[in-house]
Structure 1
Amino acid sequence: MINTAIESSEYLNQQRRGRLILICMLIFFIIPIIAVIAMYKLDWRPKGESVGELVTPPKTLSIAPALTHNNDTKVSANLLKDKWSMIYVAAECDMQCKNKLHQMRQLHVSLYKEIPRMQRVLVTTSQDVADIANNYPELIIINQPTDDVMAFSQQFNIGNESAINTHRIYLSDPLGQLIMSYQSSTSPALVRKDITRLMKYSWTG
């Protein structure tokens, strides 16, 4: 009788342990799924997520043979390849445009050892860019001819927005694909966090 009681007690203990293991497994596997579904339904984004607007699918940017820099040299078809590019699109480069170019330079400098992996590009229909070129000697300026610049700028349109009027910063990857854009009101500090995160985990550029 005593042996039977002991065996019965051990059997019950094993059952309890089995149930506990099963419950733990359910918690481990099911709760994360429930959390993801809840996040999706509530449109909740964790703080570590990108603040930029992802371009889906990425757009491969095409450079027309006629496009020219402000110094009358042809724009290379591979300009946006092998490096990350921070791009700004504007008609006339007014004060808001110049402020944004200053932000872009500050962002670029803040990348420290990653600076060589990034380039800055201004796409504009303005022909009066001498002071901009002097103030930002490393800035790549594409501004001729006007019709081709306008056509090129349209590749940056997001939804119904016209890129030439939105004051966004655009980001293209080293494959020459437009992958991200940042609204004009986005804090430069948040843009920097995004860019450094992208560059850290990228195997290209």
Structure 2
Amino acid sequence: MTARYRPLWLILGLFLLPLAIGGGLFAYGWRPAAPAANGDLLNPARTLPELLGADGRPLDPATFTDHWTLLVASAGPCEDACRQWIVATRQVHVALYKQMNRVQRVWLTDQPHPDATPLLTLQPDLHTAIAASEAARQRFDLDRAGPQVFVVDPQGRLILRYAADADPRGLLKDMERLLRYAWAG
């Protein structure tokens, strides 16, 4: 190798070195850690059961299409922990800023005639839904203690679940990531 070709070999080596390292890592089975969701990923995604509106009539399934939905599910009346999650989902909704028109919020209960007036006076953009059937109660795990938050995709499928003690900042991070990469909604 003459001195005249040394820069050419050096440049070629700089381009080929990352390919050789990447190929070696792939050959030995190393894979980067996948970014994990902060909530529990529901795999497979759950379809939404038939729900009732606050007026007791069946809710139109189109209510959950074309929007991402943050759904706070709690059995019985909305107690303190439920109210805290409703406030937290409102804060997440506002923190999404430019993307907030792609997201809606729903409070789901199993009470036949929920009193949503105290919630709606402070947060008029909150929708109310009722899980009247046993299948709906099971789909939203309403037998668990405390409220849970579900993320519903624009096709009306439950994809993420957050426990009562989850950190709302994790919900915000997941929603930002979903809205950044999703075309739907």
One-letter code of the match for 1:69?
G
Identity %: 26
Kept in 2, the 8 Å contact 1:121–1:141? The answer is yes
Q: Give 1:62 deviation, angstroms.
A: 3.0
The aligned counterpart of 1:142 is 129
Q: CA–CA distance in 1 between the matches of 2:172 and 2:117?
A: 28
Which structure is larger by alpha-carbon Rg, 1 or 2? 1
The aligned counterpart of 2:87 is 102
Q: Against the structure 1 CA distance between its residues 163 and 202, is the aligned structure 2 distance closer, same or farther, given a 3 Å change threshold?
A: farther
The aligned counterpart of 1:42 is none
Kept in 1, the 8 Å contact 2:152–2:160? The answer is yes
Kept in 2, the 8 Å contact 1:87–1:121? The answer is yes
TM-score by length of 1: 0.71
The aligned counterpart of 1:5 is none
- SS of the residue corresponding to residue 165 of structure 1 reads coil
Give the CA RMSD over aligned residues: 2.8
Kept in 2, the 8 Å contact 1:89–1:153? The answer is no
Q: CA–CA distance in 2 between the matches of 1:108 and 1:78?
A: 21
1:202 maps to 2:182: yes
Q: CA–CA distance in 2 between the matches of 1:77 and 1:193?
A: 27
Q: What are the ranges of 5 or more consecutive residues in structure 2 without an aligned counterpart? A: 3-8
Kept in 2, the 8 Å contact 1:89–1:164? The answer is no
1:61 counterpart (35, 41, 48): 48
Q: CA–CA distance in 2 between the matches of 1:71 and 1:116?
A: 25
Q: Against the structure 1 CA distance between its residues 53 and 33, is the aligned structure 2 distance closer, same or farther, given a 3 Å change threshold?
A: farther
Q: CA–CA distance in 2 between the matches of 1:33 and 1:195?
A: 35
Q: Give 1:73 deviation, angstroms.
A: 5.1
Q: CA–CA distance in 2 between the matches of 1:164 and 1:76?
A: 27
The aligned counterpart of 2:96 is 111
1:188 maps to 2:154: no
Kept in 1, the 8 Å contact 2:75–2:147? The answer is no
The aligned counterpart of 2:22 is 28
Q: Deviations over 1:60-86 (max 9, x none)?
A: 2132xxx43224554112221111010
1:128 maps to 2:115: yes
Q: CA–CA distance in 2 between the matches of 1:155 and 1:171?
A: 13
Q: CA–CA distance in 2 between the matches of 1:195 and 1:33?
A: 35
2:149 counterpart (169, 172, 180): 169
TM-score by length of 2: 0.78
One-letter code of the match for 2:40?
E
Q: CA–CA distance in 2 between the matches of 1:51 and 1:34?
A: 29
Q: CA–CA distance in 1 between the matches of 2:119 and 2:180?
A: 30
Kept in 2, the 8 Å contact 1:120–1:140? The answer is yes
Q: Against the structure 1 CA distance between its residues 176 and 187, is the aligned structure 2 distance closer, same or farther, given a 3 Å change threshold?
A: same
One-letter code of the match for 2:24?
I
Q: Deviations over 1:103-139 (max 9, x none)?
A: 0111111111111100101110232322122222111
